[in-house]
Amino acid sequence: MTVAVAPEARAAQRRIVSTINASGRLNADGLALWREVNCGEWKATAADISRDLDLLQVPHTIVTAFRFPLASSSSYSKAMRKGEVASIPEEAPHWDFTVFQPRADGMVIAKLALSAEWPAWSKKQARAARLVCAECDYDLREFKDETGMPFDVRLPERPKARRLMCGQCCNDGVGEMERLAALAGEPS
């Protein structure tokens, strides 16, 4: 039996298919659509896409995610482009990038949400996204053993700016934990 599709649903289907074709990324964990924040003048925003998915009764989630800066000779100095990704499962290993953050009271595990194609970025793109060690340029995505684990060791003069280092270059974050504990007056 053929069921007629409402004109609104048909229009939403057309928009979603073209959006997936233009900017969808599929891997073993699902489908992601990345949208730069405040892109509404040029293309559908995450909210627009969400309305279409709601109309089509497709479960999804919108989260903040990051992508490497646009390519240029000085792209390393540019900020990451903030965007939004739909349907990232909580436990998905291929969407998240786990880092360790030394704090005064101990080590914390944090997850960075990146756009779906991040595992396949070139070394230049990974460098622009600051996914290489700030000291030795080791590609932190490679993670062959525990010495290559990524630690977020921030500069004292820029405490809010992420700065990733490999475990070898930062002594597994121990020195930073001790420095922060001394500043906070806590025993390490």
What would the pLDDT profile of 148-180 be if each residue is shown by its tens digit?
899 999 999 998 889 999 999 999 999 999 999
pLDDT band at 92 (very low <50, low <70, confident <90, very high): very low
Q: How far apart are the first and last CA of the chain?
A: 70
CA distance linking residue 119 with residue 43, whole number of Å: 26
The length of the chain, given as a count of residues:
188
Q: Facing residues of 27 across strands?
A: 30
pLDDT value of position 45: 84
- Please, what's the b/e burial string for 89-112 (b: 16 or more CB within 10 A of its CB; e: otherwise)? eeebebbbbebbbbbbeeeeeeeb
